[in-house]
Every structure is written in structure tokens, then in C-alpha cells.
Amino acid sequence: MTATIGHASVIAALLLAVWGIIAPVIGSRPGRERFYASTRAAIMGQFFLVTLASLSLIYGLVTTDFSIKYVAFNTTRATPIYYRVTGLWGALEGSLLLWEWILIIFSGLVAWIYKERHRELMPWVLMIFSIVSAFFLVVLGFVSNPFESVFPVPADGRGLNPLLEDANMMTHPPLLYTGFVGLAVPYAFAMAALIRGKLDEAWIVTTRRWTLTAWFFLTMGNLVGAYWSYHVLGWGGYWAWDPVENAAFMPWLPATAFLHSVQVQERRRMLKVWNLSLIIIAFSLTIFGTFLTRSGILSSIHAFSSGPVGTVFLVFLAIVLLGSFGLLAYRADHLKGQPELDSMVSRESAFLLNNVVLVSALFTIFLGTIFPLISEAVAGVQVSVGAPYFNSVTVPLFLLLVFLMGVGPMIAWRKASWDNLRRNFLWPSVASLLFALLLFGWNVRDFFPLLGFTLLAFVVLTILFDTALAVRARHRIAGEGIFSALATLARKNQRRYGGFIVHLGVVLITMGIAGSMGYSVEREATLRTGESLSLGRYRILFQGLKGSQQPTHFRVEGAFRVFNKGEDLGILSPALKFFPAQQSPVGRAVYRSNISDDLYLILSGFSELKENQATLKILVRPMVMWMWVGGLVIFLGTIVAVWPFRQKGRGWRIED
């Protein structure tokens, strides 16, 4: 019954989506206003039906309706209720349904918020949404149907992958999908602008907050994914340059480039073609990412099992790319005659360079990700591209980006004068060079960490310096105190100061990455009870093993007392979890964080046959925590940038 409702809703929504594609075309002639109402109704109808379908699947999962194959494969009677709900994105079919659901929520919001506005663009915006939605509905209806039944109905389900039974897994996929799907909004507006030939800045101004919001979710999705990997996968790392991680990260690069380059278009009416291309690429990469993940063409720990879904996604990707760039070529004559760069030393050129670097990073990561495919197809040689490739290629690019992060927001538009350069950069440069000397004296002497930390200091100093100048000016003119001056500045120029805060968050994350990549140490050993192992300032004493029966598994944990230079820090208990349905145990690493480093313990084997023994791996990774703090700072900065402050006499601003 549940399955029938769900499947029927998907099919009905597909019919509405088809109508949502046709109606704007018929309604494009003058005097056919009612077709716009009908286009909107098609979106709202899809919203209702897809919500119904998603709730049906959740209902099936919660009530463990094992007649649905998806439910039988992803829950058991013992699964706690919250993991039953998150089973919605535990496997392929459900996560596609979640994707479609988020897409149609976004579409519904756009249709509702802009009901009376953007009358010229809106029918086409909604049409683009319906096209994307129709694609997902076809997949959900006919290729990988989440409501497929199973017969005979099993007595119990098989259960979620135990690695997914973690609180971060409840948030990571929805965050990432929200980021992916959020990019559909600027994409849809861009396509609508192309279809209408209305290529001024309207589509950019309207979608500014949507883009920033999507970017925020994309950033958080990637960070929470890294945190999950660190927290749960138990290998002591947070990023492995796995194809699926790359798939999630790649759209972030053009999205970030887009966020910056649209400012150049808003301000100087330049880079029109570039911005359109960026958003097309960003959106296509979200589809490509799903293709990579779901086709099983590249093996990965995250990839779900393969099937015909991959091919379907590849076809859709081809349609998106050909259609979008075709439209762009068709409108090429509307996009001519833009202003040119006045000077290489200007904000435009800093932003342009930032874009070049981001797109270069995208290209190198893309190449590394698909190189095994190229190599096998062209030369017949099976190869894989390891993490060292990605590290060695992206580190210089990201350092350049950090430098630009210090320059871009402070340098003047059009042509920077000597005065501007001296005023904004002299003191921060001097101070960061002093900082570099300090680091050198403090034994940070490897090239990349030294350069990296210096550049990061430069960014922080330029931001603080610029803000201090502005606060001082307000203090002199309006007589405001420091905090009220800061508040006024942030409110009057949300994007600038929100952006500053986001940049500070990015600095923190980069410092965490630099510290933990450059200065990690590790050691492993088999210990008997009473033996200890030392690493850096830590000494770890093995005190014994303990086994316990948990609701879903048997757990063996080792007790390890941690000493920091003789000071007793208490016991850490890494564990191995033995799930009945699994051949081998799942490790549960534990770690202890503080501001300078993380102590990470992995129990990889044990024996209590002759005497108690434990095989332990320990890692000391500096500054990991800074990454997670950086994530919070980005959250704060995004809030400052998009919060709809009430402006006098203007009411709530939803756009601009």
C-alpha cells in the first residue's frame, strides 16, 4: 500500500513535470497569461507529490515494511528509529529520491517567493526546474525505483552499512545534496536569461543569496564528510582524494569562482560569458558527481553498487552540457562588447586570477579523477592516481588562492593607485614578513608550511587592518565605540564583512590542513597489559580489554590510559565492533582533541587467548580541530552575509 502510493506519486509527478516543460513554451506568446499560472501549478503539484512519495518511503522505513525491497535492504527490526529515517539516504534509490525532494522544495520556494516578480524570466526558470525534476522522476519511476517490492517478504531486513550508523551520516548527505541542488537555482535563472536573451545583471542579482546559500551547504557538506571520515572511518585521516570525495568537492570550485566573478559583472559588466559558463559547469558537475558515484565506473568506498543508472546520468549530463552551451553560443551576439580590463593591478584582475586558479584546480582534480579511465581506454594500461598527485598539484594552487584572498577584497576596482596599495598592504606585508621570521626561528623551515602560514597571516592581517581602519573612521565621524561601529559596518555592508568572516574561516581550515598534513606522526605496536607506547609528548599505557554485547553488535574495547608529559589525562577506549552480518569487525577509533593537536587511537587487533594483547596504532595530528572551528566561523560569516536585516522603510529584503 505504502509502496503503491509512493510509486503512483512519482509517476503522477512525472506527468506534471512534463506539463511544466510544455506549458511555458505554449504560454510564451502574448495574451496567454494563464499558462504561467499553470506552469507554477505544475511545480507546486510536483512539490506535493514528491513530498508524498518521500514521506511514504520514510513511513515504510519507520514501520519496517519489508515488502519494499529498499526497506528490507536498509533496515532491520533492531535499527533505532532515527537510523530508519536516515535509511532514506543510505542507498542509491532513496538518495535519488531525497535529491529530487530537495530539488522540488527549492523549486517550490522559488515559485512562491517570486510569484509576482521577474515575470519575464520566471516561466523559463520553472521550466528548467521541471526538466531536471522530470529526469530524476524518470530515474525514480523506471530505472531505480525505491518502491520496488520484494517477494517473499523477508522476516527481517539486512540493515544499513554499519559505517553509516553515525550522527554525521544523518547530516552529511542532506547537506551535500542541498548544496548540489541549490546550484540549480542560479543555473535555472542563467538558462532563463539565455532563453529570453535578457542578459543584463538581473539574474545574478536575484540569485545572489541562493548561490551563497548553496555554496554554504556545499562547503558544510564537504566538511561534515571530512569530519565523518575522521570520526568514523578510523584511519586517522579526513580526506583521501577518493573519486567520490572529489565528485563532491569539484562543484565547490566553480561555485566559489562564480561567487567571486559575479561581483565583477555586477560592478563592471564584464565576464558575462565566463559567469554563464561557470554556473553551467558547476551544475553539470553535480550531475557528473552523481554519475561517478552511482555508475560504479570508479571503485570507491562510498560508491553504491552499479547498475544502469550510470548510463542514464551520462546521457542527461550530455543533454545538459550540449543544451546549455548551445544556448550560450546561440546568444553569443548578445554577449559582445563588454568593457575590458583597465589595469592588471585591480580588483577585477585579482578576482579573475582567483577564477583562473580555481578553474585550474578543478581541471587538475578532474584529470586526476578520470585519468584511470583515460589510461585504460587509450593505452590499455590500468593505473590509479594516488593522493600524492592531488596534494602536490593543489597545494601550490591553493597557496596562490590564499594570497589572492588577502589581496582581492582590499585592492581598488579599475586601477589600484600607489596610495591604495601602500595604505592597505604596507603594514600587513611588513607584519607577515616578521611573522615568517618568527616561524623560521621557531623551527618551521619547510618551504610549503612556512609559505602557507605566512600567507595565512597576511590574509588575517589585511582583514583586521582594513576593518580597524573602517572602525576608526566611524569612531571619528560618528563617535561610535568599537563594537557598535563593527555592528554598523557589518549591517551596512553585509557582503563585505560576511565575506571577511568567511575568509577567516577558510584561513582556519587551511591552517588545520597545513598543520595536520605537514606535522603528523604515527606509531604502531602490539602491547601486553601493563606495557606502554610513547609518541611525542604522549605515553599510552595498555590496561586491559573489555567485551560487551550491544543491541546490534558485540563490542571489544581496549582501555588505554593517556599521559601527557607525566600528567594523567584519563582513559581512551578504541574498540572493534563485530556485527553478526559482517565477516570482519568495524573499527571504532577514538581521539582526544585540543587546540594544538589530536591524539588518535586505533585498535586494530586483540587477543585474550594466552594473555591480553592489543595491537594499537596511534597518531598525533596537529591542529585538526582548527578545521572544525573554521567550519563554524564560515557558518557565522554566511549568516552575516545573507541575513535579511530589516532596512528602514524597505521592509524585509528577500533578494539582493
Partner 1 sequence: MHKTRRFLIGAAIILAALAYLIYGGMREAIVYFVTPSELKGQESSSKDKFLRMGGMVVAGSLQKDPPNLTYRFQLSDGAQSVPVFFRGIPPDLFSEGKGAVVEGRIGPDGVFVASTIMAKHAEEYSPPPQGKTSTPRSFVPGQEEKRP
* 523/592 with CB nearer partner 1: 523
Strand partners, 522: 619
Tell me the residue type at 305.
S
- Residue 360 CB, shortest distance to partner 1, in Å, is 5
- Residue 317 CB, shortest distance to partner 1, in Å, is 24
Return the residue of 32, 34, 158, 546 that touches partner 1, per CB under 8 A: 158
* 305/443 with CB nearer partner 1: 305
Binding mask 562-601 for partner 1 (x = CB under 8 A): --------------x-x-xxxxxxxx--------------
* Residue 413 near partner 1 by CB under 8 A: no
Give the Cα separation of 223 and 5 in Å (integer).
Answer: 36
* 17/160 with CB nearer partner 1: 160
Q: How many residues does the chain have?
A: 656
Return the residue of 197, 308, 339, 386 that touches partner 1, per CB under 8 A: 386
Q: Is 156 helix (H, G, I), strand (E, B) or coil?
A: coil
Give the Cα separation of 476 and 173 in Å (integer).
Answer: 49
* 331/617 with CB nearer partner 1: 617
Q: Are 495 and 656 in contact (CB under 8 A)?
A: no
* Residue 615 near partner 1 by CB under 8 A: yes
* 372/428 with CB nearer partner 1: 372
* 315/387 with CB nearer partner 1: 387
Binding mask 113-152 for partner 1 (x = CB under 8 A): ----------------------------------------
- Residue 562 CB, shortest distance to partner 1, in Å, is 20
Give 486: exposed, middle or buried? Use CB within 10 Å, 0-12, 13-18, 19+: middle
Q: Directed axis angle between helix 122-138 and helix 184-196, to 10°?
A: 130
Give the Cα separation of 359 and 543 in Å (integer).
Answer: 52
Q: Under rule CB under 8 A, which residues in 424-443 are in contact with partner 1?
A: none
* Residue 200 near partner 1 by CB under 8 A: no
* 118/294 with CB nearer partner 1: 294
Q: What separation in angstroms does the CA of 344 have from each of 76, 271, 353?
A: 62, 15, 10
Residue 601 C-alpha cell reads as 587511537
Question: Which range in 35-43, 376-384, 424-432, 532-540 contacts partner 1 by CB under 8 A?
Answer: 376-384
Return the residue of 197, 308, 396, 544 that touches partner 1, per CB under 8 A: 396
Give the Cα separation of 653 and 638 in Å (integer).
Answer: 16
- Residue 513 CB, shortest distance to partner 1, in Å, is 17
* Residue 384 near partner 1 by CB under 8 A: yes
- Residue 91 CB, shortest distance to partner 1, in Å, is 11
* Residue 397 near partner 1 by CB under 8 A: yes
Which of 368, 583, 409, 603 lies closest to 507, judged by CA?
409
- Residue 590 CB, shortest distance to partner 1, in Å, is 16
Return the residue of 392, 417, 550, 593 that touches partner 1, per CB under 8 A: 392
Which of 588, 520, 530 lies closest to 560, judged by CA?
530
Element (H, E) at 502: helix 494-518
Q: Under rule CB under 8 A, which residues in 310-369 are in contact with partner 1?
A: 340, 356, 360, 363-364, 367-368
Binding mask 73-112 for partner 1 (x = CB under 8 A): ----------------------------------------
Tally Cβ neighbours within 10 Å of residue 111. 20
- Residue 351 CB, shortest distance to partner 1, in Å, is 15
Whose cell is 600567507? That residue is 455
* 567/611 with CB nearer partner 1: 611
Q: How many residues bind partner 1 (CB under 8 A)?
A: 54
> HSE of 359 in the Cβ direction (CA atoms, 13 Å)?
18
* 322/374 with CB nearer partner 1: 374
Q: Under rule CB under 8 A, which residues in 549-568 are in contact with partner 1?
A: 549, 554, 556
Cα 614 off chain centre by: 37
Which of 127, 79, 129, 83 lies closest to 102, judged by CA?
129
- Residue 617 CB, shortest distance to partner 1, in Å, is 6
* Residue 28 near partner 1 by CB under 8 A: no
Q: Is 534 helix (H, G, I), strand (E, B) or coil?
A: strand
Give the Cα separation of 189 and 194 in Å (integer).
Answer: 9
Q: What separation in angstroms does the CA of 137 have from each of 9, 376, 648?
A: 10, 33, 45
Return the residue of 120, 200, 524, 568 that touches partner 1, per CB under 8 A: 524
Give the Cα separation of 177 and 100 in Å (integer).
Answer: 9
Report phi then psi at 603, rounded to 5. -90, 120
Which of 109, 101, 100, 117 lies closest to 36, judged by CA?
117
What is the phi-psi region of residue 443: left when phi exceeds 0, alpha when psi lies from -120 to 50, beta otherwise?
Answer: left
Q: Which residues bind partner 1 (CB under 8 A)?
A: 158-159, 161, 301, 305, 340, 356, 360, 363-364, 367-368, 371, 381-390, 392-393, 396-397, 524-526, 547, 549, 554, 556, 576, 578, 580-587, 602, 604-609, 613, 615, 617
